[in-house]
Amino acid sequence: MIKANYKKYILDFKRPSGTSRGVLSKKETWFLKLEENGKTGYGECGILRGLSIDDRPDYKEKIQWLCKNINKDKKELLAELKEFPSIQFGLEMALQSLKAKNPFELFPSDFTKGKKKIPINGLIWMGEKSFMKKQIDQKLEEGFSCIKLKIGAIEFDKELELLQFIRKEYPADQIELRVDANGAFSPKEALVKLKALSKFELHSIEQPIKQGQFEEMKKLCASTPLPIALDEELIGVFEKENKRKLLEKISPQYIILKPSLVGGFQGTQEWIDLAEELKIGWWITSALESNIGLNAIAQWTAILNTTMPQGLGTGSLYTNNIKSPSEVVGETLTYQPQNNWDTTELKF
């Protein structure tokens, strides 16, 4: 019999991090701990308040329900948790961890042996132009050749100036630039802004307009001068048939997958299968989880054998993260198996 327990944990940002939805200084997460026959498994339910579809008053009750019913069939549990994708992910992770020889080596591969690295993008947070420029300089110094900028929080003209500065210093064959608007543009202005942005030879733009505006997004994807990647648009789409309909209707150039937001490994795999069938590109991004969740996402991503830079460089954002063998070296996420986990915060 499996025994399950949970713990709420608040992650503190080293410095407040700006998005178009406001400034983040803390991040709530929930750890799951499973025990059976002397073995332990860990999972993380990484909720993003204000964004996750499962940001609901009964979130804690659902985790309590899961702990009480942990010995039910996995399929049954995942079906019951359908509207709680971050808890689905925490459950999948914890069960995989419990099953593994080492609770932190969920998906053994050359990555977990320290022989393979995952290419990642460098993330630039929103803020004043000088602050963003400082971050860009630092990322370039660290060796990143793919940079993702959050846009939509400062004046658009200033953002264009910033992109012009980057392109003047670093041409497109030297630095790949991705931008994430987090739905900051209105449908009326979006195409004009995309045309202005396209001058800087960008790789893609994430979610230019808010999710749920299907007709407008479809038109944008059909006429855009630069590739569009759907992100928030995928949140809350549970059934495989509805996922197919959304992708066929909008026809984006890319989709971005955060397992905590789209139903864990199983939900993410469904999106990947559909995207590949419809010739849509994709990459994986963490949703600001602690190193527990990030570790699981990275190990799973490693066995997908994708070569695109992924969005997995968020492990150093917090002052009180769980110490792990994962490390960003240059523009890659690496796993140093000789380094230990610090499980102090996982004793509950």
Query: Residue 20's pLDDT band (boundaries 50, 70, 90)?
Result: low
Q: How confident is the model at residue 151 (pLDDT cuts 50, 70, 90)?
A: confident
Q: For position 15, what pLDDT does the model report? A: 82
| pLDDT of res. 87 | 98
pLDDT digits (tens, 9 = 90+) for 214-241: 999 999 999 999 999 999 999 999 999 9
- Is pLDDT of 73 > 80? yes
**Average pLDDT over every residue of 322-346:** 94
* Environment class of 344 (CB within 10 Å of its CB; exposed 0-12, middle 13-18, buried 19+): exposed
**Beta-carbon-side half-sphere exposure of residue 227 (alpha carbons within 13 Å):** 14
What is the DSSP secondary structure assignment for residue 115, as one 8-state letter?
S
Integer Cα distance of 31 and 74 in angstroms:
18
Find out whether 34 and 50 touch, Cβ atoms under 8 Å: no
Average pLDDT over residues 1-18: 91
The pLDDT > 90 percentage for the chain reads: 83
Which residues have a catalytic role annotated?
A: 150, 258
Q: Which of 162-176, 282-296, 306-320 has the highest mean pLDDT?
A: 282-296
Q: Rounded to an integer, what distance in angstroms lies between the CA atom of residue 281 and that of residue 264?
A: 19
pLDDT of residue 316: 87
Name which residue leads in pLDDT, 23 or 103.
Answer: 103
Helix (H, G, I), strand (E, B) or coil at 251: coil
Per-residue pLDDT at 131: 84
Q: Strands 176-180 and 204-206: what pairing?
A: parallel
What's the confidence (pLDDT) of residue 19?
Answer: 63
* Structural domains in the chain plus CATH codes: 3-99 (3.30.390.10), 118-346 (3.20.20.120)
With CA atoms as reference, report the closest residue to 49 among 64, 29, 67. Answer: 29
Convert the pLDDT of each residue in 161-181 to its tens digit. Answer: 989 988 988 899 989 999 999
- Output the average pLDDT for the chain: 94
Task: Say what the pLDDT of residue 18 is.
Answer: 65
